[in-house]
Every structure is written in C-alpha cells, then in structure tokens.
Amino acid sequence: MPNIPFLPGSYSSQKLERTRKGMDSLFRPEQSELVSLAQTLGFKIEKADIGRLSAGKAFELKRKLKGFKEQMNYIRKRLRDGLVSEEDAKTQIEKISNKMREIAEKYDVKFSTATYAKPKKVLFEIQN
C-alpha cells in the first residue's frame, strides 16, 4: 500500500489519526497535528522531550553497567572459592572497571572508581 497522507489504511494516515486523537506513548514525544502533517509530507521535523530522552539513556546505561557488575561479582566469588588468585582477580576487576568508566564517559557520567573488594577476615574481639 502506498504511504500517501489521507489514504485510508496508510501509515501516514494512521499517524495523523493517532496525533488527532492524542494517543500518547511513554517513548514517543507529543506532536501537534501540524508537525505530524509536515512529517507525512516528507519534512524532517522532530520534537524532542529531553526528560524522556535522558530517562531512556539512563535505563540503557544502567542495563549495561549491571552486566559488568555481575561479571565483577562472579570474579569475587571465584576468589572466595579459591579458584583464582588475588592478583588475577584484581587485574580482571580493574579491566572491567575501566570498561565501565569508558561507557560512562560516552554517556557523560562521572562516578567513583570501582573498588576491588578483598575477602573480609573476621576478627574476634573479647569485650569486657
């Protein structure tokens, strides 16, 4: 089917109808009927909602960083189980934290250095 405005069933007609009825989406910015009409006629006009865009990018960054944190936790578990040496674990975690920093810089986010967690030694103290 050709994509001609006002042709019943075409994409551009559906888009104009959604705009006219005010059907909102969490991921699509609100548009006026004039902007929708201009877009269906081929003009490249875009309205951006900075709040929605930054929320989407924040979710994207959080998802990426979560994968790296899981990798770091796996290395720490292997260290606790004695399957990897402390030095190897430290270098692997440092590589992962560098990757995390690189990704955060792409998103223009600053955060403190991911630290290497040593296994905790329990010290017992006798209290009077």
Q: Is residue 72 part of a domain?
A: yes
Q: Is residue 122 part of a domain?
A: no
Which whole number is the average pLDDT over 24-44?
A: 72
pTM (whole model) above 0.75 = no
**pLDDT exceeds 60 at position 119:** no
Do 2 and 37 fall into the same domain? Answer: yes
Tens of pLDDT along 89-111? Answer: 999 999 999 999 888 888 876 55
Do 40 and 2 fall into the same domain? Answer: yes
- Residue 54's domain comprises 50-106
Buried b (16+ CB within 10 A) or exposed e, 66-82: eebeebbeebbeebeee
Q: Is residue 93 part of a domain?
A: yes
